[in-house]
Amino acid sequence: MTEIAITRTTNPKQPPADETLTFGTVFSDHMFMMEYHEGQGWHDPRIVPYAPFVMDPATCVLHYGQAIFDGLKAFRGPDGQIRLFRPGDHSRRLNRSAHYLCIPELDPVMVEESIRALVEVDQNWVPKMPGTSLYIRPTVIATETFLGVHPSHSYLYYVIVGPVGAYYKEGMNPVRILVSDQYVRAVKGGLGAAKTAGNYAASLFGAEEAQKAGYTQVLWLDGVEHKYLDEVGTMNIMLKIGDEVITPPLNGAILAGITRDSVLTLLRSWGLRVSERPVSIDEVTAAASAGNLEMWGTGTAAVISPVGELGYKGERYVINGGQTGALTQKLYDTIVGIQYGTAPDPFGWTRLLGNRLGG
């Protein structure tokens, strides 16, 4: 693997106090960068002081959105060790997103090493208060300067990191979610399974309306019949009706969440009945009305987020009395325990910062 050149800042900043952290507003002292040019491949991996980019106004990512990213976290445990959560799976998912967007494949070992090396350089930015972590954002953008619509011939891969607290202002308290019967996030055959900028752009209008109506997020239904649950955009959705845990299948319209996969693996290891199947909004509202529903979201930023209320077609459906359900709490405690190294890691999901890949 090509060595990563490191240039350290001569002007390091002071990380903010852990108690003040929100999500995605503060960034560390350094960033990772590597370019792609046709005929040359990916080249010049390096860590440099964090700084703005200069871009030609005709850079194609600014016009046609050929951009992908991923999101993962590093945690500082009470033992002082820093752990990355499933960095290999996030690196492979970045490559799957690249495939959907016609972006040349990156070496997943290089992606994982870029993340490890940057977190190592900026390890003083990993906060230690429970509930906080270092959020890591690997990103690829198309950099060719042209206005024709075709895949770019050059790209920039970069990684930035910053300390974060809870994603939702509610923290681990139940969120209120509006089920959209008007707008859609993605459709089967589109880009719903890719972590690409356009999916988030598509969610903004509906999310603004939801917020005006007092909801934190939107639950998107399928783009064809507006009947089956897709995802929340910032997280995958799961529910428990009776003794069955249900989550929408990976049908090409939703993101293959790493936290989703972690939760499904845990639930199956606990012997619960887990179905990845289409679930209609009518089945969900009926279960909520019968008082037979527990619901939560899963995501890297959101972790495990209980859903306390759904709004749908002008009706309000309170879930589990608006309280965090027992299974939701157990999942949160288990995942967080693994991430901070206070619980066993039977599936080998965490990687201690000290361990290098590929020599």
List contacts with ligand COI (CB under 6 A).
71, 234, 299-301
Q: How far is the CB of 114 from ligand COI (least distance, A)?
A: 17
d(CA 106, CA 118): 17
Q: How far is the CB of 238 from ligand COI (least distance, A)?
A: 15
Nearer to ligand COI, 104 or 297 (CB): 297
DSSP string spanning 164-197? E--SSTTTTSPEEEEEESS--S--TTTTTTS-BH
Please choose, from the candidates 243, 197, 215, 223, the residue with its C-alpha nearest in 3D space to the C-alpha of residue 314.
215
Dihedral of CA 168/255/310/294: which sign?
Answer: negative
d(CA 63, CA 143): 11
Nearer to ligand COI, 91 or 320 (CB): 91
Nearer to ligand COI, 287 or 304 (CB): 304
Q: How far is the CB of 293 from ligand COI (least distance, A)?
A: 24
Angle at the Cα of 303 from the Cα atoms of 134 and 16, rounded to 5 degrees = 30
Nearer to ligand COI, 177 or 288 (CB): 177
Nearer to ligand COI, 23 or 64 (CB): 23
Q: How far is the CB of 71 from ligand COI (least distance, A)?
A: 2
Nearer to ligand COI, 85 or 125 (CB): 85
Mutual angle of helices 258-269 and 87-100, in 10-degree steps: 130
Q: How far is the CB of 69 from ligand COI (least distance, A)?
A: 7
Q: How far is the CB of 289 from ligand COI (least distance, A)?
A: 30
Report the b/e string of 106-143 with b at 16+ CB within 10 A.
Answer: bbbebbbbbbbbbbebbeebbbeeeebbbbbbbbbbbb
Closest residue to ligand COI using C-beta atoms:
71
CB of 163 within 8 A of CB of 21? yes
Q: How far is the CB of 110 from ligand COI (least distance, A)?
A: 21
Nearer to ligand COI, 71 or 151 (CB): 71
Q: How far is the CB of 92 from ligand COI (least distance, A)?
A: 15
Q: Which residue has the tokens 């917020």?
A: 211
Please choose, from the candidates 112, 168, 110, 175, the residue with its C-alpha nearest in 3D space to the C-alpha of residue 320.
175
Q: Which residue has the tokens 């693994």?
A: 338
Question: Which element (helix H / strand E) includes 274?
Answer: strand 273-276
Nearer to ligand COI, 232 or 287 (CB): 232
d(CA 19, CA 144): 42
